[in-house]
């Protein structure tokens, strides 16, 4: 193997070192998170997931409030983002005139390039005042009897503000994957339907969407992964109070936000830090599972080619 | 459709299927509604891009001058006077450190995948890179803290410093470069590489004289995408570098922390001070300008590669 007649052996060894370094970066990440969360896992066990109290001085830690906040923000963001991403993907791939498609795609990709913190600032200075001055008073007047739409504090910050901004952040991922999946539909199938007198809507509904549906599911799953881990914009917008949100307009806390806000204080006490790292472990596990499933689907549909909207700033 | 509809139904010269004009009209109407919704979805989706830029420029335009970029923040609260020089210098530190770590690793492992990899190792390594891209940045921050910054237990004990922050950002950057390098090399027509190998070139010589030339555009795309990604990262820096209002005196230990644009915006928007909010918007304009400049460079490289190769 070390026969230097083939100089490639040396080259291969050097490259292998690089590959092993990349693998070790991944292993280091997983090991660090597992190692430092171990004390909390041992001490609190499974009830960590459904205990509501998070009280560092008493060393009582339960993640329920943060899990609920994360779930609500993610769910609402997907609810807002999916219909629009669908529309954008269909528009760009099927309806848009060809000479405009390039520039319109660039605009959506620009949305993916905007950093999370800039989205957060935009949310604080635009979305929050809008919610506070127009949306919340309106809902307060007309829908205050519906529990899920009750406005508790008219401050603008809260679950809704965070999920609107996160929805815009995951929009480019889902819509670009929708577009790529629609682009992978064989042209002959679409042309056949068009020749039979179908309108473009019929073609999309009966030919393209059934074919592209798996890819779109993959996109939604990846969007879910991004929304779960979204940190900075959420910290700025969600209100940061450890309560289980009961309404669309109430404030809350997500896993990523509590990590961003308190991890640097937490490292003073080992068990507190360990509980926080266990929160990170939840994020890590969710993101790994989501990505394994999502990528597997996407590799089958659009051949695993990378779309640049998938690397946004975090 | 119009020609078919014009043929009379009782014309017996050819068999013709009955045409329901109302049905066709309805179909076209539904199609029109679908077009309307698709266009609306696009307009609403594109709206924030323009509104973010508009809002940032409208609020921050007063500070968009050379002095803002070339002076350190002063005054009380810190930043009320002066500019953002600390953040720009700090970003240079972080990008250079992250690149020194990530570019060799990313390109090396990408080349390994396409030159020596077996099918199974390739699938495995690609999945690994994709998983690394999917890990939330706040988790990378915690990993970076325990590996580089912490001053207790195992780790490198760099403190909150440019080196710790830069290497953590390097972790984020590596898989992006690796994936795009592999993709770029795989796009080279197989004949180029096989031709070089058939002439007796070693794989290293093939890399040097064929692959590096043909895949250069793709590799640069990866590097620029990586830089674009880490420029906007805030969460990992919270635990590894935090922020410095002055210039760093080193890259590790006390005095090793650097400023950072994203971090500066994050800190300024937290302050209950109108002037700092406006400065945060002005800094956002600078950050967006950097990002879109990198983006433009990226598109230019893509365009040139497609044109000349």
pLDDT digits (tens, 9 = 90+) for B48-96: 999 999 999 999 999 999 999 999 999 888 888 989 999 999 999 999 9
Nearest CA in chain A to B206: A8
49-68 in chain B: CB under 8 A from chain A = 49, 51-52, 55-56, 59
In a domain? residue A49: no
In a domain? residue A13: no
Which parts of A141-236 are beta strand (E)? none
Tell me which residue range forms the domain holding A91.
65-310
> Which structure tokens are listed for A231?
């940190």
What ipTM is given for this predicted complex? 0.93
Question: Backbone phi, then psi, for A261, in 5-degree steps?
Answer: -80, -35
Among candidate residues A287, A172, A312, A310, the one with its CA nearest the CA of residue A232: A312
Q: Cβ of A18 and B131 within 8 Å? A: no
Give the residue from B12, B29, B63 where a domain finishes: B63
CA–CA distance from B17 to each of B12, B13, B206, B282 (Å)? 12, 13, 64, 66
State the virtual CA torsion across A263, A268, A270, A275 in degrees, nearest 10: -20
Distance CA A11, CA B203 (A): 8
- The shortest C-alpha distance from A62 to chain B (Å) reads 19
Among candidate residues A112, A65, A105, A102, the one with its CA nearest the CA of residue A89: A105
> Same domain, yes or no, for B216 and B301?
yes
Contacts of A21 in chain B (CB under 8 A): 105, 109
Strand B73-74 and strand B81-82: the pairing is antiparallel
Q: Cβ of A21 and B239 within 8 Å? A: no
pLDDT per residue as tens digits for the range B181-191 = 988 888 888 88
Nearest CA in chain B to A123: B52
The single-letter DSSP state of residue A93 is I
Inter-residue contact B164 to B158 (CB < 8 Å): yes
Tell me which residue range forms the domain holding B248.
66-308
Question: Backbone phi, then psi, for A68, in 5-degree steps?
Answer: -65, -45
Nearest CA in chain A to B285: A118
DSSP per-residue string spanning A242-263: -S---STTS----HHHHHHHHH
Inter-residue contact A184 to A301 (CB < 8 Å): yes
Give the residue from B15, B43, B63 where a domain finishes: B63
Nearest CA in chain A to B44: A84
Q: Cβ of A118 and B288 within 8 Å? A: yes
B140 three-state secondary structure: helix
Q: Cβ of B145 and A125 within 8 Å? A: no
> Same domain, yes or no, for B144 and B31?
no
Contacts of B39 in chain A (CB under 8 A): 91, 95
> Same domain, yes or no, for B148 and B235?
yes
CA–CA distance from B25 to each of A159, A201, A206, A306 (Å)? 44, 13, 19, 41
Residues 6 or more apart whose Cβ sits within 8 Å of residue B222: B106, B110, B176, B177, B178, B179, B180, B181, B184
In a domain? residue A113: yes
* Total domain count, chain A: 1
Using the Cβ of A118 and the Cβ atoms of chain B, whether some distance falls under 8 Å is answered with: yes
> Same domain, yes or no, for B182 and B301?
yes
Average the pLDDT over A133-141 and give the result: 91
pLDDT per residue as tens digits for the range A200-250 = 899 999 999 999 999 899 999 999 999 999 999 999 999 999 999 888 999
* Total domain count, chain B: 2
Distance CA A123, CA A164 (A): 9
State the virtual CA torsion across A63, A65, A71, A72 in degrees, nearest 10: -170
- Residue A300 sits in a domain whose CATH number is 1.10.3720.10
Contacts of B239 in chain A (CB under 8 A): 263-264
Inter-residue contact B70 to B85 (CB < 8 Å): yes
Q: According to the model, what pLDDT value does residue A149 have?
A: 86
> Same domain, yes or no, for B270 and B129?
yes
In a domain? residue A46: no
pLDDT per residue as tens digits for the range B196-253 = 888 888 888 888 888 988 898 889 999 999 999 999 999 999 999 999 999 999 888 8
When the pLDDT of each residue in chain B is averaged and rounded to a whole number, the result is 89
Instruction: Tell me the pLDDT band of A305, cut-offs 50, 70 and 90.
Output: low
B73 three-state secondary structure: strand
Inter-residue contact B278 to B62 (CB < 8 Å): yes
> Same domain, yes or no, for B33 and B77?
no
B74 three-state secondary structure: strand
Q: Which helix (H) or strand (E) holds A54?
A: strand A54-55
In a domain? residue A7: no
- The shortest C-alpha distance from A144 to chain B (Å) reads 28
249-278 in chain A: CB under 8 A from chain B = 256, 259-260, 263-264, 267, 276-277
Dihedral (CA of B9, B10, B14, B17) sign: positive
Nearest to A33 among B116, B143, B292 (CB): B143
In a domain? residue A107: yes
- What are the beta bridge partners of residue B73? B82
Estimate the crossing angle of helix B85-115 against helix B119-134, to 10 degrees: 160
In a domain? residue A250: yes
Q: Cβ of A260 and B235 within 8 Å? A: yes
Task: Give the number of A-B residue pairs with CB atoms closer than 8 Å.
Answer: 294
Other residues' Cβ atoms within 10 Å of the Cβ of residue B215: 29
Tally of residues, chain B: 309
Whether the predicted pLDDT of B13 surpasses 60: no
Q: Cβ of A25 and B174 within 8 Å? A: yes
A61 three-state secondary structure: strand
- What are the beta bridge partners of residue B82? B73
- The shortest C-alpha distance from A147 to chain B (Å) reads 29
In a domain? residue A79: yes
Q: Cβ of B45 and A175 within 8 Å? A: yes
Other residues' Cβ atoms within 10 Å of the Cβ of residue B219: 24
> Same domain, yes or no, for B88 and B156?
yes
């Amino acid at each position: 193997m070390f026969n230097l007649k083939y100089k490639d052996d040396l080259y291969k060894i050097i490259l292998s070192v690089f590959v092993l370094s990349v693998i070790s970066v991944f292993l280091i990440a997983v090991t660090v998170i597992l190692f430092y969360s171990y004390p909390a896992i041992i001490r609190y066990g499974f009830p960590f997931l459904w205990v509501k109290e998070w009280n560092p001085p008493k060393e009582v830690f339960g993640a329920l409030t943060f899990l609920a906040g994360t779930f609500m923000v993610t769910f609402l963001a997907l609810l807002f983002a999916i219909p629009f991403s669908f529309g954008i993907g269909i528009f760009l791939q099927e309806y848009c005139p060809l000479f405009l498609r390039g520039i319109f795609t660039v605009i959506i990709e620009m949305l993916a390039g905007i950093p999370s913190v800039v989205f957060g600032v935009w949310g604080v200075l635009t979305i929050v005042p809008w919610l506070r001055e127009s949306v919340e008073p309106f809902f307060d007047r007309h829908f205050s009897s519906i529990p899920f739409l009750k406005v508790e504090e008219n401050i603008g910050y809260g679950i809704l503000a965070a999920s609107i901004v996160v929805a815009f952040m995951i929009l480019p991922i889902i819509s670009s994957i929708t577009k790529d999946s629609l682009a992978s539909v064989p042209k002959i199938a679409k042309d056949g339907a068009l020749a039979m007198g179908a309108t473009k809507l019929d073609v999309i509904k009966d030919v393209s969407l059934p074919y592209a549906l798996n890819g779109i599911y993959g996109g939604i799953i990846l969007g879910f992964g991004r929304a779960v881990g979204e940190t900075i914009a959420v910290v700025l917008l969600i209100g940061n109070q450890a309560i289980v949100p009961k309404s669309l307009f109430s404030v809350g806390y997500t896993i990523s936000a509590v990590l961003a806000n308190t991890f640097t204080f937490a490292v003073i006490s080992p068990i507190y830090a360990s509980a926080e790292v266990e929160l990170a472990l939840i994020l890590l596990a969710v993101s790994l599972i989501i990505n394994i499933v999502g990528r597997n689907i996407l590799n089958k549909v659009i051949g695993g080619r990378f779309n640049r909207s998938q690397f946004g700033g975090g | 459709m119009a020609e078919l509809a014009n043929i009379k139904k009782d014309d017996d010269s050819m068999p013709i299927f009955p045409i329901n004009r109302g049905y066709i009209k309805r179909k076209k109407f539904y199609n029109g509604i679908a077009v309307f919704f698709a266009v609306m979805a696009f307009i609403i989706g594109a709206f924030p891009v323009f509104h973010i830029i508009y809002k940032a420029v409208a609020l921050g335009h007063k500070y968009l001058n050379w002095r803002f970029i070339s002076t350190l923040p002063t005054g009380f609260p810190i930043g009320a006077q002066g500019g953002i020089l600390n953040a720009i210098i700090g970003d240079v530190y972080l990008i250079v450190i992250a690149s020194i770590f990530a570019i060799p690793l990313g390109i090396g492992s990408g080349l390994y995948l396409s030159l020596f990899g077996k099918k199974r190792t390739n699938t495995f390594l690609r999945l690994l890179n994709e998983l690394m891209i999917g890990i939330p940045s706040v988790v990378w921050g915690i990993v970076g803290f325990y590996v580089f910054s912490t001053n207790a237990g195992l780790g490198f004990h760099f403190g909150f410093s440019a080196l710790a922050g830069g290497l953590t950002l390097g972790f984020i950057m590596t898989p992006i470069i690796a994936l795009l390098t592999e993709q770029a090399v795989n796009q080279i027509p197989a004949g180029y590489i096989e031709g070089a190998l058939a002439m007796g070139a070693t794989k290293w010589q093939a890399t040097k004289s064929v692959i590096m030339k043909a895949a250069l555009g793709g590799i640069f795309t990866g590097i620029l995408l990586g830089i674009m990604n880490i420029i906007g990262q805030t969460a990992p820096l919270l635990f590894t570098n935090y922020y410095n209002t002055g210039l760093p005196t080193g890259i590790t230990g006390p005095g090793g922390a650097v400023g950072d644009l994203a971090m500066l915006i994050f800190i300024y928007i937290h302050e209950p001070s109108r002037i700092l909010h406006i400065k945060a918007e002005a800094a956002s304009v600078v950050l967006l300008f950097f990002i879109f400049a990198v983006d433009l460079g990226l598109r230019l490289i893509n365009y040139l590669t497609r044109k000349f190769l």
